[in-house]
Amino acid sequence: MAHALYTRHPDFSEGRLAKVRSHVVSRATCAEVARKLGLGSRLVEHAASTQTEEELERLARNRNVLAAVIEAALGALFLQHGFAAIEDAVVDAFSEQIEHALTTRVDNKTDLQELLARSGRQVTYTEISVDGPPHERRFTCAAIIGGEELGRGEGRTKKAAEQEAAREALSKLDVDESA
């Protein structure tokens, strides 16, 4: 992915390329691509019968499992066919995610941190609450800047809740700074 992004966007800074690449190869994005390619269904079809069908279906929907499956599949394809033979197909499979990363803020926490650093400020994140059973947790976090809560977010992981809190804080700061 790094090679394709660098080749296609030689004018981008290293920082921007790193952010885009990081988003495109993230666990969540890999899971999206695995779903799009039907790898979860194939996992269920070809799995050993030591698991119940319900358990197999749950595993086939699990983000971590799907991300691991696509990474393993891409690794096997690389070893079997080589980089040049698979690069275009891999980039094509991730094309929607690449476009999204190129046109949208994808790492709100880093963007917020960089914005605040320019004025000597910092952000801290506070966990407000954790709800739900272990397999369906919902986290609520707040972005605190200068002792004031400027963003609050929810997510299935603490990181996702912090990203959402940072997004909200960024939108408030963008409005404040453009006024």
113 and 44 share one domain: no
* Domain final position from 103, 122, 148: 103
The whole domain housing 148 covers: 108-178
Whether residue 82 is found in the same domain as residue 133: no
In the chain, the number of structural domains is 2
Residues 99 and 163 in one domain: no
**127 lies in the same domain as 142:** yes
143 and 88 co-located in one domain: no
- What share of residues in the chain are helix, strand, coil (percent, to 5)? 65, 15, 20
Q: Report the pLDDT value the prediction gives residue 179, as an integer from 0 to 100.
A: 42
Q: What is the DSSP letter of 21?
A: H
- At 49 the pLDDT is 65
Q: Among 72, 103, 134, identify where a domain stops.
A: 103
From 110, 14, 114, 28, select the one nearest 64 (Cα to Cα): 28
Residue 98 CB neighbours (<10 A): 21
- Same-domain check for residues 87 and 145: no
- Both 62 and 96 in a single domain? yes
Residues 15 and 75 in one domain: yes
Q: Do 43 and 29 share a structural domain?
A: yes
| 8 Å CB contact between 72 and 59 | no
Q: Is the overall model pTM greater than 0.75, yes or no?
A: no
CATH of the domain at 115: 3.30.160.20
Residues 17 and 73 in one domain: yes
**Residue ending a domain, choose from 103, 138, 170:** 103
CB atoms within 10 A of CB 174: 11
Per-residue pLDDT of the chain (179 residues; tens, 9 = 90+): 999 999 999 999 898 898 899 889 999 899 999 999 999 988 888 776 677 778 888 888 899 999 999 999 999 999 999 999 999 999 999 999 999 888 887 789 988 998 999 999 999 999 999 999 988 899 999 999 999 999 999 999 999 999 999 999 999 987 655 44
- pLDDT at residue 64 in the model: 92
Residues 69 and 145 in one domain: no
72 with 120, same domain: the answer is: no
| CATH number of the domain residue 35 falls in | 1.10.1520.10
